[in-house]
Amino acid sequence: MRGRGIYIIWLRWVKRYLRSKSRIVGSLGMPLFFLLLLGFGLNPSIQMAGVDKGYFGFVSPGIVAMSVLFVSMFAGIQVIWDKQFGFLKETLVAPVSRVEIMIGQTLGGATTSLLQGLLTLLIAFLLGGGLSFTLTGFFIALVFMVLVGISFTALGIAMASKMDDMHGFQLIMNFVIFPIFGLSGALFPIENVPAAIRPLIYLDPMTYGVEGIRYGLLGVSDISPVTSFIFLTSFMLLTIILGQHLFKNIKV
């Protein structure tokens, strides 16, 4: 029965996501904007070394990663929502440990972010632009999408555990997300970045998620997929441990 609580909480998150059509469509707005504006807008004028699919092909994996990142980080809003409306208090008094609750929430948020990422990938593929990939490459990209989803969902829940104001959480998330995404190399090759900024890029965990997804979809990356996998897995374990610690001490 230990895993039953995790499953129920995961199922609740997934059902809420699937029933909210406006949330699904709204979350696709920014990725679609980037794909159309950057992918098609700059594709004729930018040639990417080692990428035979042009800038559209290069930027598409980064936009997929962005979609996963945004949805996973904002999963913390659900925790604050449950706090304010009393659902979290009811959950905490149930015969389920707080660790199980946090894991169920993390897996639920990661699943919704993965679904959103797959929708973005489907849109990028349907838009044309030469994007194609193998079954093995898709599996590699999927693994990195899952790692990104779990890592940043756990981070979002950890931050939400210490907050009560939903609007304040959204502002802080924007403050955190955009530097993480901007320094990830999603929109530009890492090798073209000035040496002074490069250390920040290599410290950004999202960089390894983007490079892993890019390797799976394009077969090229500036960082070895093995290195990306090790770094991102380590970051995922760290955020889960942090999230469990903060969620254990959550006050409702």
pLDDT tens figures, 48-87: 544 556 778 888 899 999 999 988 988 888 888 877 777 7
Cα dihedral sign, 113-41-188-221? positive
Tokens (6 digits) for 139: 């599996």
Q: Where are the domains of the chain?
A: 2-248
Burial of 73 (0-12, 13-18, 19+ CB in 10 A): buried
Task: Provide the pLDDT for residue 68.
Answer: 93
How far apart are the two ends of the chain, measured CA to CA in Å? 26
CB-based burial, 27-37: b 16+ in 10 Å, e otherwise: bbeebbebbee
Q: Which residue has the tokens 């632009």?
A: 129
Give the angle 174-175-177 at the CA atoms, nearest 5°: 60
Say which DSSP state 165 is in: -
Contact between residue 180 and residue 69 where contact means Cβ atoms under 8 Å apart: yes
Name the DSSP class of 35.
I
Total-model pTM: 0.89
What does the block give as tokens for 239? 């955020």
- pLDDT, position 42: 64
User: pLDDT value at position 87?
Assistant: 72
pLDDT at 114: 94
Alpha carbon of residue 66 to chain centroid: 6
Place of tokens 């030469």: 130
φ and ψ at residue 189, rounded to 5 degrees: -70, 140
- Residue 119 is predicted with a pLDDT of 92
Burial profile 199-219: b = 16 or more Cβ within 10 angstroms, e = fewer: eebeebbbbbbbbbbbbbbbe
Q: What is the pLDDT of residue 56?
A: 80
pLDDT of residue 48: 55
Distance between CA 92 and CA 99 in Å, rounded?
Answer: 10
Question: pLDDT under 50 in the chain at which residues?
Answer: 1, 49-50
